[in-house]
Structure 1
Amino acid sequence: MKATRGEVAPRPRAQPTRVGFGDSPGARSNTRRKTSAALAAPTDIAAPHQVQRLADTTVERFGRVDLVVSNAGMRCGRTDLARGTRRLASSLAVNVQGVVNGMRAFVSHLIAAGRGHLRHPD
């Protein structure tokens, strides 16, 4: 099945989209009901064991991971920096170490599956 210019190639067979996502503990999930197609797990991405648990639970639930998007981030502006180092430390833990934790937790699953992608938006 080939798409011509301006068209989207049709899927060879219809499959439901399955989504697993982690959000900061205590955040209100956008997943309103339990479904086999979604997994919402409170996850502090600055904590390696929590990210590993998210990766393992996702693979256990869906059988594999095709795409990992590290989209968490904390803004740290001049006023935050002027108040002290706590906000800077938290920002670095999420913005830098969180990406590293995600890569460590998920890349072994991607390699084992022989497929998949990591995305780190700006």
Structure 2
Amino acid sequence: MAALSYYFLVSLIVAVSFSNLHAVEAARSLLQTMPTLPNLPPLPKATLPPLPTVPNLPSATLPPLPATPLATQPTVPSLPKPTLPPMPTSIPSLPTVPKVTLPPLPATMPTTVPTIPFLSRPPAANSP
């Protein structure tokens, strides 16, 4: 009985997937065809009323600013010129690096994986 319901479910899924293929093809063909658009009638030109004129405002008369003499700035003292040491004419040589010797590598690589020792289990407790 379970096998019969399983086969029915599988056949239902296959039938739905095959019916879905036709829907996908139909949607694709509708998307690929360009619909014909109707021509729009010409719209009338919009006319705007003229802008209102802005009245002239009288200009305000301001009293003249009082003339104040500018404060004199103190003079900045001149700093002495720094003297730099002269540049060397020749570049000093670098010290030599000591030679490092590596231990020799084995001729063949081991092919076995070493075993890891495991701890033994504790003895089982006897229940009386």
Asked whether the two chains share a fold, i.e. TM above 0.5, the reply is no
Larger fraction in helix: 1
Larger fraction in strand: 1
Give the TM-score normalised by structure 1. Answer: 0.19
Greater RCO structure (CA 8 Å; 6+ sep):
1
**Which structure has the greater CA radius of gyration?**
2
Give the TM-score normalised by structure 2. Answer: 0.18
